[in-house]
């Protein structure tokens, strides 16, 4: 009987050892995360961009990446009013421009804002339903992009010279799809006039309009209109040689001249005198008056 009992104990030990080896082998073959998932805490992957700038109407996407999420939920909160925008893949706002984006099996939970407006600017938080909650802030900047034609708002060009205009689209994150030039309400990028050259560089967000051998007929209002910016305009005057010199002289002297208007029987004549001359005349007049007064006094005393 004792022999049989010892034999059964030996079989039991052998069976236990075999089971232990099998379990250890299976655990070694499985990835470590398989055994640690239940104990690991969620954390944010900080490689995503957290300061996003877009122009009005350009879709904005805030990317939040969470590792080891497990059975927790990811929510998007608008910071200024603590409004819950999304929970998981569900949207909790009546504003249909906001939408949760998530691909099954991925670590990324994104918030998409379609056709954003300046009022949508602000801080948004990506929250994870741990205890206590963890969150990460994202800033959305919705800006108004406005094109600018370099130089003054008016341009005087001598007839026969070239009109050269440069337009820059500032405050935009993405290059414009196109930049159109208008004269009045007519697009001139592909005008049949001839001598018109448009050079657009999408990378630098600039466009140049060159009109060769300008004539008086080229005078008018020119507008630069990028696809994703407000337009900018300039008034161009093409004038003859004599008129050009007069216009330039008038522009140079306007800061230090006084205009005297003298009415004649038929028209209004414009005289322009440098301020220095007028001041000199005024000083001379005062001296003459003083000299005359002194002479009169001397004569009267005698």
Class of domain 147-249 as given by CATH: mainly beta
pLDDT in tens, the chain (302 residues): 554 445 444 444 444 444 443 434 444 444 444 434 445 899 999 888 999 998 888 899 999 999 999 999 999 999 999 999 999 999 999 999 999 999 999 999 999 999 999 999 999 999 999 999 999 999 999 988 889 999 999 999 999 999 999 999 877 767 888 899 999 999 998 777 788 999 999 888 899 999 999 999 999 999 999 987 889 999 999 998 655 555 555 545 543 433 333 233 333 333 334 444 444 445 555 455 445 444 434 333 34
Alpha helices in the chain (DSSP H): 2-29, 32-36, 241-253, 275-301
pTM above 0.85, yes or no: no
Domains of the chain, residue spans? 43-143, 147-249, 256-302
CATH number 2.60.40.10 given to 43-143: yes
Q: What is the DSSP letter of 254?
A: T
Give the Cα separation of 104 and 39 in Å (integer). 22
Residue 54 near residue 142, CB atoms below 8 Å: yes
The whole-angstrom separation of Cα 201 and Cα 302 is 88
Assess contact for 163 and 169: CB atoms under 8 A: no
């Amino acid at each position: 009987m004792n022999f049989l009992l010892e034999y059964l104990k030996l079989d039991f030990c052998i069976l236990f050892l075999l089971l232990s080896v099998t379990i250890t082998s299976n655990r070694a073959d499985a990835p470590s995360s398989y055994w640690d998932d239940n104990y690991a805490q969620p954390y944010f992957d900080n490689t995503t961009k957290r300061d996003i700038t877009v122009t009005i109407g350009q879709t904005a996407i805030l990317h939040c990446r969470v590792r080891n999420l497990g059975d927790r939920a990811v929510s998007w909160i608008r910071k200024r009013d603590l409004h819950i925008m999304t929970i998981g893949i569900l949207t909790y706002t009546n504003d249909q421009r906001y939408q949760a984006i998530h691909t099954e099996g991925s670590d990324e939970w994104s918030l998409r804002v379609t056709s954003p407006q300046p009022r949508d600017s602000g801080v948004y938080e990506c929250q994870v339903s741990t205890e206590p909650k963890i969150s990460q802030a994202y800033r959305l900047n919705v800006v108004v992009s406005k094109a600018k034609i370099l130089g003054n708002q008016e341009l005087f060009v001598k007839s026969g010279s070239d009109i050269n205009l440069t337009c820059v689209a500032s405050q935009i994150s993405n290059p414009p799809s196109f930049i159109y030039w208008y004269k009045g309400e007519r697009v001139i990028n592909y005008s049949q006039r001839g001598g018109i050259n448009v050079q657009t560089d999408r990378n630098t967000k600039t466009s140049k309009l060159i009109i060769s051998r300008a004539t008086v007929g080229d005078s008018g209002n020119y507008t630069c209109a990028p696809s994703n910016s407000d337009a900018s305009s300039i008034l161009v005057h093409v004038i003859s040689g004599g008129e050009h010199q007069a216009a330039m002289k008038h522009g140079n002297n306007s800061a230090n001249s006084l205009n005297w208007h003298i009415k004649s029987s038929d028209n209004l004549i414009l005289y322009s005198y440098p301020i220095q001359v007028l001041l000199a005349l005024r000083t001379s007049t005062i001296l003459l008056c003083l000299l005359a007064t002194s002479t009169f006094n001397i004569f009267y005393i005698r």
